[in-house]
Amino acid sequence: MKEIEDAYGHALFDQMSGKTRSGYGEFERHVQIPVERDDGMIDTHSASLYFSIYEDWPAFQREAIALAKGRVLDIGCGAGRHSLHLQDQGLSVLGIDTSPLAIDICKERGVRETLLMSISQINRSLGTFDTILMLGNNFGLLQDRQRAARLLNRLHKVTTASARIIAETLDPYNTDDPFHLEYHRRNRELGRMPGQVRIRVRYRKYKTPWFDYLFVSTKEMQEVIAGSGWKITRFFDSPGSLYISILEKDGPR
């Protein structure tokens, strides 16, 4: 990723420093990260979320991460909040992210093992893992049905026989927003899954390349993982659209 494309990393850096630079000097603020969808819709979320501590996480996330065990691969580690918590619990964690600045932030905050890499670059040279962590909606990194099958197979090959995946996503159908509903309809017409979004992250002058991200209902997740060598053994629900699935191995591949 080029520096001009690391919008996410620059937002995290400014949040960590507690300042945003502008023509009017520096001032304290909570950094907002704009996410642009390919239909023109723009949403924002606070970068402070990526620095939150365990005690401030929702109950369903605290309950799910308690199932992490052994050696952990934290996919899309961001500013390292999950990696740091698991390290504190005595687990060995490797955090990976595609943002160079995010990886620098993780190192500065004390994550012991990090690599600049994408989910599609995961391979056996990394060793074997007992837990794959995909919190922070990172089940979405599977992007679509076809890519999901390939990546889940890849994760199967780098994990132990008793490994589990802790995967967070949101149910895209839990909405009455007409803009989201129209986007679902457009996706169906294009032969895409309704919750498959094409987005990019923007922050000040920085913007990532466009990429696909996948949101699925619990029923769709069952369909997406079918035949992948993984099975869902448990769900953790939130009061809203978010939920976490625990996936365990369904036999050899």
For the domain that residue 11 is a member of, what is the CATH number?
Answer: 3.40.50.150
Digit-coded pLDDT (tens) for 185-219: 999 999 999 999 999 999 999 999 999 999 999 99
Please report, for residues 131, 139, 167, 242, the alpha-carbon distance to residue 231 in angstroms, rounded to integers and kept in the order given.
Answer: 14, 14, 12, 19
Q: What are phi and psi of 17, to 5 degrees?
A: -75, -15
Give the pLDDT score at 27: 46
Report which of 93, 94, 102 is spatially closest to residue 121, judged by C-alpha positions: 94
Give the pLDDT score at 18: 79
Length of the chain: 253
Give the pLDDT score at 253: 63
SS3 label, residue 224: helix
* 63-86 average pLDDT score: 98
Digit-coded pLDDT (tens) for 127-159: 999 999 999 999 999 999 999 999 999 999 999
Does 71 score more than 70 pLDDT? yes
DSSP class of residue 157?
A: H
pLDDT classification of 9: cutoffs 50, 70, 90: very high
* 75-90 average pLDDT score: 98
Does 251 score more than 80 pLDDT? no
Give the pLDDT score at 20: 54
- Go through 176-207 and write b for each residue having 16 or more CB atoms within 10 A of its CB, e for each that does not: eeeebeebbeebeeeebbbbbbbbbbbbeebb
Does 29 score more than 80 pLDDT? no
Mean pLDDT computed over every residue of the chain: 94
The domain in which residue 182 lies consists of: 3-249
Does 24 score more than 50 pLDDT? no
Give the pLDDT score at 23: 44
Give the pLDDT score at 17: 87
Note the helical H segments in the chain.
7-17, 59-65, 81-88, 100-109, 145-157, 178-189, 218-225
Does 25 score more than 80 pLDDT? no
Instruction: Say how many domains are in the chain.
Output: 1
Within 13 A of 43's CA, how many CA atoms are on the CB side?
Answer: 9
Does 21 score more than 90 pLDDT? no
* 219-226 average pLDDT score: 96
Give the pLDDT score at 89: 97
